[in-house]
Amino acid sequence: MKNKKNESRIFGIETITNNLNKFVVLLLASLFQISSMLGQSQVYDNFEGIKFLTYGSKNGVLDTVVKNPAPNKVNNSAKCALYIRNSGKKFDNIKMNFAGKLTGVNEYATYLGVPPKIKMKIYTNAPVGTLVEFLLGNRQGNNAYPEGTNSQFQAYTTTSNAWEELEFKFAQIPEGSQTSFNQIDQITLLFSPNSSSSDTYYFDDITGPVVVPKDKSDEIGSKIQTTKK
């Protein structure tokens, strides 16, 4: 009887150990999947076939299929987007919507180390030093400021009438934000915010944190929350 009990006890321990090992393997695989996505970048729209976003409300004139006005080594694409700013709107903006959620935004939204950068190629007749801004937020709140905005990124132009690639630095998480890192599914683009300019902007190759398809975003978001506990 003792031998049978010992055998049963050993079998039970082995079963628990095997199940625990399987759980650890699955957990490590999930964490690896999450960590491999954090800090990576993805092209959202190159206006020549790669497209992971749709354009929502806007104040100015937007054309997403125009001829590149002046190809150079920075941008030799045949097509790009054109935006003419509405001078009647001080905070003229374009809403860009994703079918899923952005992941790894916290890797971008930090002052520490050398974080990855949101990037965009731009050609404009606006003066050198013009501010361009991205607000990352939630579509449900229409990325309202500050509650619907998670984080704010800024760059300044360094040339006029020639292509350049802007790298957007993290500016801040606005005070009063009610949008967490795992809720971001909208970007608001502002050219020369808080002004009355009517300059023309060509832009291309918008690049930023990886987009997670909607059917996986909730799953990954919950895993991120679990690993933080």
| Alpha helices (H) in the chain, listed in sequence order | 2-37, 105-108, 214-228
The residue among 88, 93, 176, 166 whose CA lies nearest residue 129 is 166
Is 13 contained in some domain?
Answer: yes
Same domain, 56 and 135: yes
What sign has the CA pseudo-torsion 79, 85, 91, 93? Answer: negative
- Per-position b or e across 54-78, b if 16+ CB within 10 A of its CB: eeeebbbeeeeeeebeeeeebbeee
pLDDT tens sequence across 61-73:
999 999 999 999 9
Count of domains for the chain: 2
Is 140 contained in some domain?
Answer: yes
15 pLDDT band (50/70/90 cuts)? low
Is 211 contained in some domain?
Answer: yes
Residue range(s) defining the domain that contains residue 116: 41-215
Same domain, 83 and 120: yes
Is 224 contained in some domain?
Answer: no
CATH number of domain containing 158: 2.60.120.430
**Residues across the chain:** 229
Q: Residue 8: its pLDDT value, please?
A: 59
Same domain, 20 and 54: no
Q: Residue 218: its pLDDT value, please?
A: 46
Is 225 contained in some domain?
Answer: no
pLDDT tens sequence across 129-146:
999 999 999 999 889 999
Same domain, 85 and 147: yes
Region class of 220: left (phi > 0), else alpha (psi between -120 and 50), else beta: alpha
Is 171 contained in some domain?
Answer: yes
Same domain, 22 and 45: no
Same domain, 49 and 22: no
Largest interatomic CA distance in the chain: 90
Same domain, 46 and 74: yes
**Tokens 């930023």, residue located:** 208
226 pLDDT band (50/70/90 cuts)? very low
Same domain, 80 and 188: yes
Same domain, 46 and 83: yes
CB of 110 within 8 A of CB of 39?
Answer: no
Is 221 contained in some domain?
Answer: no
Work out the average pLDDT over 120-130.
98
Checking if the pLDDT of 29 tops 50, the result is: no
**Tokens 């013009």, residue located:** 130
Same domain, 45 and 123: yes
5 pLDDT band (50/70/90 cuts)? low
Rounded-to-integer distance, Cα 45 and Cα 39, Å = 19
Q: Residue 35: its pLDDT value, please?
A: 38
Residue 53 CA neighbour count, 13 Å, CB half: 30
Rounded-to-integer distance, Cα 185 and Cα 213, Å = 10
Is 84 contained in some domain?
Answer: yes
Question: Lowest-pLDDT range, 117-126, 184-193, 219-228?
Answer: 219-228
Q: Residue 142: its pLDDT value, please?
A: 87
pLDDT tens sequence across 107-122:
999 999 999 999 999 9
Same domain, 78 and 174: yes
DSSP class per residue in 104-162? -HHHHS-SSS----EEEEEEESSPTT-EEEEEEE-GGGTT-TTTTEEEEEEEE---SSS
Same domain, 23 and 127: no
| 168 phi and psi angles, rounded to 5 deg | -90, 125
Rounded-to-integer distance, Cα 198 and Cα 135, Å = 21
Tokens (6 digits) for 214: 């909607």
Rounded-to-integer distance, Cα 184 and Cα 112, Å = 21
The residue among 111, 107, 120, 98 whose CA lies nearest residue 184 is 98
